[in-house]
Amino acid sequence: GDMVRVGGMGYTIDVGKPMGSRISDMTVLKTGEAIDPAKTYVVAGWASVNEGTEGPPIWDVVEEYVKAKGTVSVPENRSVKINGI
């Protein structure tokens, strides 16, 4: 299976906990502010969970970008902390 990925947000996941209890410590990376469950946030994504999405598949977009750049570097992802493994 696959999952929707996030950007601009940090969190901790404990894979040893039951589903529905695994995610904690959610923060906005830019500010370090804790995600407020009572607040409304505006989000954007590249992967639609709806059928009938228009546009090219993301892997084609990434492939063309890498081909055009030649060499790319990706910073280490420190936004997700994993516990229980």
d(CA 75, CA 85): 23
Give 2-10 contacts, CB < 8 A, sequence gap 24+: 4/45, 4/47, 4/49, 5/47, 9/35, 9/79, 10/79, 10/80, 10/81
> If one looks up domain 9-83 in CATH, what number appears?
3.90.780.10
Round the average pLDDT of the chain to a whole number and report it: 85
Tallying the residues shown for the chain, one arrives at 85
Domain map of the chain by residue range? Answer: 9-83
- In order along its 85 residues, the chain shows pLDDT tens digits of 456 677 888 999 999 999 999 999 999 988 999 999 999 988 766 666 666 767 888 789 889 999 999 999 988 878 889 998 8
